[in-house]
Every structure is written in C-alpha cells, then in structure tokens.
Amino acid sequence: AAGVIQSPRHLIKEKRETATLKCYPIPRHDTVYWYQQGPGQDPQFLISFYEKMQSDKGSIPDRFSAQQFSDYHSELNMSSLELGDSALYFCASSPYRAEQSYEQYFGPGTRLTVT
Amino acid sequence: LAKTTQPISMDSYEGQEVNITCSHNNIATNDYITWYQQFPSQGPRFIIQGYKTKVTNEVASLFIPADRKSSTLSLPRVSLSDTAVYYCLVGDIETGGFKTIFGAGTRLFVKA
C-alpha cells in the first residue's frame, strides 16, 4: 500500500541557511500535518492543512512557513536555521474526518542537522 | 484539548500482557481516545481508537470506563519488538482533529 513520502530523508545545513522539506501524502488524503521531534523529545505539532488551506497551527516558529499545493503535496520552508532546529521532521496525512478517525499516517521523516 | 498523563516508563517480559493507563480527567463529551506507537527514528503508528467501553483490534484492546476519565491500552503477550513509546491522545475529531498534541508518552521496555 502507498505510504507518505518525505524528501529528502537527510539534510545537513549550516546556521542561517534555508531548507525546504517536502511531503507527498497518501493518495486521496486531503489533510497534511507537520511535526518536529527533537532528540529524546515527543513529537511537537507544527501546522496542518486541509484542502490546501491552513487548518491549524501549533508551535511553529515564525521563521518557518508551509503550504499545501493543488496536488495535495506539502512543503515546509525553514529560514534562518538555528542549531536548535536540528530534529526529525515528520509529515502525516489523513482523509478528512470521512472515517471519523484520528488516525494519521506518518511518513519516515526528514532528519535535519544544522551545523 | 484534554491533557493526558501516562507513566513515564514500564518494563515487561516477553509473553506477558501489558496494560498502560492514561488519565484524562478533563475529557470532553465529543473527545475520542487514540493510542499511537513509536519506534526510534520512525513516525508514530496508529494502534487503536475508542470512545467508550471496549475496543479490540488485531493488535491491542482499549478499555474505557463509564466516566471516561482514564483509558487502558492492553497489549496481549508482548514480544521484544513491542519495545517502543506509546502515546495516548485525546481530542474532538469534529473540531480538533487537525491539531494533534502528543504529550509525554510511556516508554515500554520488553525484556527476554
């Protein structure tokens, strides 16, 4: 079965650089979520999109922005990178409430290292 | 979103049944209870979801008492591969389904 695809899987950037993470949801899933998980930390919700519109926002820094495109893929743009941004970034997708479920399907993550 | 409290860690042995209890005293009428499992460096994986009484699937059972202020995830006959972090989430699917808050999960260690 198709899964959530994230690219790149690994990314190394220097401080103050920018990074773009991409997420391709499962086909027919119209909702996308982004999470950040630092070393030894629990996943932190960043932002979500439904039908290409931002649906909710969590602890996403102002330096980060995201969008969902017409084909439902999403991109997380990160600027002025800081050492503390080093983390695993997960994308998840779900069908919108159609199945009355909280079930989200997570991708393999992008490991971002800021040096 | 209701706050959840789980034990920080639990130990078990292969073949035993493991029960992880989550407290959610402020659960709202429309809230559902969902459990996720996460292995190191992997994304969380949905285990089970319920609203009241008991729900069972091929992986686990979820017990929810009448007052719904707590819930218990039951893993039958655990194996070494069940060593993971387990998260309990509570939220309203209708209005809060877009914002998923992971609290501090329970780190389960299964020993041989």
Domain count, chain B: 1
Q: Is residue B27 part of a domain?
A: yes
Helix (H) or strand (E) holding B48: strand B45-50
pLDDT in tens, B54-87: 999 999 999 999 999 999 999 999 999 999 999 9
Higher pLDDT, A50 or A66: A66
Residue B107's CATH number: 2.60.40.10
How many Å is the Cα radius of gyration of chain A?
A: 13
CATH fold, domain A5-114, is Immunoglobulin-like (2.60.40)
Q: Is residue B39 part of a domain?
A: yes
Q: Mark out the alpha helices in B1-112 (DSSP H runs).
A: 93-96
Query: Of B8, B95, B98, which to mutate for an interface test with A (greatest number of A Cβ within 10 Å)?
Result: B98
Contact call for B46 and A58, based on CB within 8 A: no
Separation CA A60–CA A64 (nearest Å): 7
Question: What is the CA angle A70-A76-A79, rounded to 5?
Answer: 135
Q: Is residue B4 part of a domain?
A: no
Amino acid at A67: Q
Q: Which residue of A has its CA nearest to B46?
A: A103
Q: Is residue B1 part of a domain?
A: no
Q: Which domain holds residue B64?
A: 9-111
Return the domain boundaries, chain A: 5-114
Residue B93 has pLDDT above 90, yes or no: no
Q: Is residue B83 part of a domain?
A: yes
